[in-house]
């Protein structure tokens, strides 16, 4: 029953050549939900001023493990800033909008981040909401004593309404992409401090909602509630082993004292997309998931290096989505292409080492302008199993010609496919004017047959891979953009997919960006020093 409900949601939120998935007929920009959540009535805990520039370069990050830094309020604040904080303000005519270190579909930012502290010297034991605009923590709950002394956790939730306001029924998918990007962003920021992010798989959504106080309906404006996404343990010592279970933390938090109330997002909710509430309910992560997969098992590490000496922090703060690409740019050097593509299979390095499941997302690429590769459709399975499934399910007429120069890449069909790439991605020129664009095919049925909550997991994985591509593109001197708008079944037709064993969940594009000089860029946190 519930798998059919997921399939029904997935089907009805597909864009087709004939019609887009159901969304608002008109957009009232004055009704845009506030992207910054504030809990009033909570004690505030300050973080050190944003903008610190740790030394670690991209090359060092890629070639060695950074010695772990101490868990301090300063370092915790830096990690939060580089994961979810502001990266710049943009101004065009009368419009002004903030960008963040993590990307978001439509820049709507449904995600909210929380800290659960069990480390009294850093933050009194309790639950904290990260207030992005002010870059400080709002203490939502206190607990008397730590249950897992010294531990530090980061959690994420989504306000679906922020995304649904603009994108209607398809918005649930975008919230899941964003959660995957946010996991990647957190993992990169943590590794800058020599810390590692461990996704806690064992906690159910009901438990996580309770741990973050999201189940206290009276503390949220109706329809502006938050839905729990993920919980991560921050490993900040090389030899640390969890002395207990996260379930104990859940039990301890049942006795927490809660304070504060979420301010209204100042939206008047002209539409209500019921189907989003329904799919969120159906895909709730259940209790009792006991055997987390160790991401280091069974997959070969593929090392890719890039000699970029820029500080990792600068690359994170400068990451942007390209709005336009230069059609006349020189072909992308093959070495750069290889580095980016290989990074999507570096399972033992941040951010992919935060992942707890075997790779279930595989890439198909429209290569337009890459040195040494003929233009055409290519495939990069991210595991041996993926290769077997794809060979069985994709169009039997495909070439499957192994590319000698790029390990694991197969040419499927050689031709200039720029028009097709553009048409499939909702006619967006960013998919055709780049050096290459790609789609992410999920092993869909198999994941849902295991548990329907994996619907969300598959989108998270695609967002995580997207975050790898964003940072790799930036480090290689190029720029990427996530593409959530594409015509699902038209993509499947091009690939010869005839059932739901494989589904394309996300697209991405990388090339030489064109700068729009009319858009002014302003510093991220100038408002903190001015006030």
Interface ranges with ligand FMN (CB under 6 A): 99, 103-107, 174, 177-178, 181, 320-321, 428, 430, 481-485
Tell me how far, at minimum, the Cβ of 334 lies from ligand FMN, in Å.
Answer: 26
CB of 103 to ligand FMN, least distance (A): 3
Cβ neighbourhood burial of 216 (10 Å; 0-12, 13-18, 19+):
middle
Residue 284 class from Cβ within 10 Å (0-12 exposed, 13-18 middle, 19+ buried)?
middle
Give CA–CA dist 177/111, Å, rounded: 11
Q: What number of residues does the chain have?
A: 531
Nearer to ligand FMN, 320 or 457 (CB): 320
Toward ligand FMN, which CB reaches closer, 103 or 126?
103
- 3-class DSSP state for residue 131? strand
Dist CA 179 CA 344 (whole Å): 18
The H or E element containing residue 367 is strand 361-367
- Rounded to whole angstroms, how far apart are CA atoms 65 and 193? 10
Measured from the CB atom, the residue of 68 and 484 that comes closer to ligand FMN is 484
**How far apart are CB 307 and ligand FMN at their closest, in Å?**
25
83/81 Cα distance (integer angstroms): 5
The nearest distance, CB 413 to ligand FMN, in angstroms, is: 24
Smallest gap from Cβ 476 to ligand FMN, in A, equals 17
Cβ nearer to ligand FMN, comparing 84 with 347 = 84
Which tokens hold the place of 262? Answer: 């979420």
- Burial class for 345, CB neighbours closer than 10 Å (0-12, 13-18, 19+): buried
CB-nearer residue toward ligand FMN: 320 or 382: 320
- Find how far residue 442's CA is from the centre of its chain: 16
Query: Given the complex with ligand FMN, which of 38 and 483 has the nearer CB atom?
Result: 483
Instruction: Render 133-155 in DSSP notation, one character per residue.
Output: TTTEEEEEEE-SS-SSTT-EEEE
Shortest separation between residue 447's beta carbon and ligand FMN, angstroms: 19
- What minimum distance in Å lies between the beta carbon of 45 and ligand FMN? 27
- 105 vs 306, which CB is nearer to ligand FMN? 105
Angle, vertex CA 293, rays to CA 290 and CA 297, nearest 5:
150
Distance CA 210, CA 218 (A): 14
CB of 315 to ligand FMN, least distance (A): 13
Provide the minimum distance between the beta carbon of 174 and ligand FMN in the complex, in angstroms, as a whole number. 5
- Give the largest CA-CA distance in the chain: 65
How far is it, in rounded angstroms, from Cα 410 to Cα 400?
5
Which CB, 215 or 490, lies closer to ligand FMN? 490
Would you say 159 or 430 has its CB closer to ligand FMN?
430
The minimum distance between CB 484 and ligand FMN, in angstroms, equals 3
Give the residue with the Cβ less far from ligand FMN, 100 or 235. 100
Question: Are the C-beta atoms of 184 and 464 separated by less than 8 Å?
Answer: yes
- For residue 252, which of 346, 152, 126 has the smallest C-alpha distance? 126
């Amino acid at each position: 029953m519930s798998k059919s409900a997921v399939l029904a949601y997935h089907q009805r939120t597909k864009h087709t050549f004939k019609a887009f998935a159901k969304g608002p007929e008109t957009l009232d920009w004055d009704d845009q939900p506030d992207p910054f959540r504030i809990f009033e009535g909570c004690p505030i805990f300050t973080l050190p001023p944003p903008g610190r520039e740790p030394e670690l370069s991209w090359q060092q990050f890629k070639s060695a493990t950074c010695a772990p830094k101490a868990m301090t309020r300063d370092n915790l604040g830096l990690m939060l800033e580089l994961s979810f904080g502001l990266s710049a303000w943009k101004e065009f005519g009368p419009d002004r909008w903030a960008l963040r270190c993590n990307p978001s579909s439509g820049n709507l930012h449904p995600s909210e981040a929380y800290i659960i502290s069990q480390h009294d010297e850093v933050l009194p034991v309790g639950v904290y909401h990260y207030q992005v605009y002010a870059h400080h923590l709002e203490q939502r709950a206190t607990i008397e004593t730590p249950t897992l002394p010294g531990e530090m956790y980061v959690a994420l939730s989504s306000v679906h309404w922020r995304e649904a306001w603009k994108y209607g029924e398809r918005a649930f998918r975008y919230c899941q992409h964003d959660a995957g990007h946010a996991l990647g962003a957190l993992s990169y920021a943590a590794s800058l401090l020599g810390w590692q992010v461990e996704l806690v798989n064992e906690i159910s959504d009901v438990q996580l909602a309770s741990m973050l106080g999201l189940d206290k309906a009276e503390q949220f404006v109706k329809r502006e509630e938050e839905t729990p996404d993920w919980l991560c343990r921050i490993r900040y010592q090389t030899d640390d082993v969890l002395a207990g279970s996260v379930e104990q933390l859940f039990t301890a938090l049942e006795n927490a004292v809660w304070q504060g109330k979420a301010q209204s997002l100042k939206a008047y909710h002209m539409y209500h997309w019921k189907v989003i509430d329904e799919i969120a309910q159906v895909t709730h992560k259940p209790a009792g998931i006991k055997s987390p997969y160790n991401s280091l098992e069974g997959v070969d590490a593929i090392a890719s290096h890039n000699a970029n000496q820029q500080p990792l922090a600068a690359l994170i703060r400068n990451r942007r989505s390209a709005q336009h690409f230069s059609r006349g740019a020189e072909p992308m050097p093959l070495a750069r292409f290889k580095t980016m593509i290989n990074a999507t299979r570096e399972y033992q390095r941040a951010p992919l080492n935060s992942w707890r499941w075997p790779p279930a997302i595989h890439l198909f690429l429209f290569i337009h302008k890459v040195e040494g590769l003929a233009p055409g459709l290519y495939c990069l399975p991210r595991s041996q199993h993926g290769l077997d499934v794809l060979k069985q399910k994709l169009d039997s007429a495909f070439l499957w010609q192994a590319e000698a120069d790029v390990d694991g890449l197969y040419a499927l069909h050689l031709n200039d496919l720029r028009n097709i790439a553009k048409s499939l991605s909702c006619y967006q020129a960013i998919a055709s004017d780049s050096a290459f664009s790609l789609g992410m095919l999920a092993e869909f049925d198999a994941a849902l047959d295991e548990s329907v909550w994996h619907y969300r997991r598959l989108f998270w994985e695609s967002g995580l891979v997207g975050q790898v591509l964003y940072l790799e593109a930036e480090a290689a001197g190029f720029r990427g953009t996530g593409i959530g708008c594409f015509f699902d079944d038209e993509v499947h037709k091009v690939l010869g997919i005839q059932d739901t064993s494989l589904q394309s969940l996300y697209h991405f594009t990388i090339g030489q960006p064109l700068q729009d000089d009319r858009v002014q860029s302003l510093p991220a946190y100038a408002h903190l020093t001015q006030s």
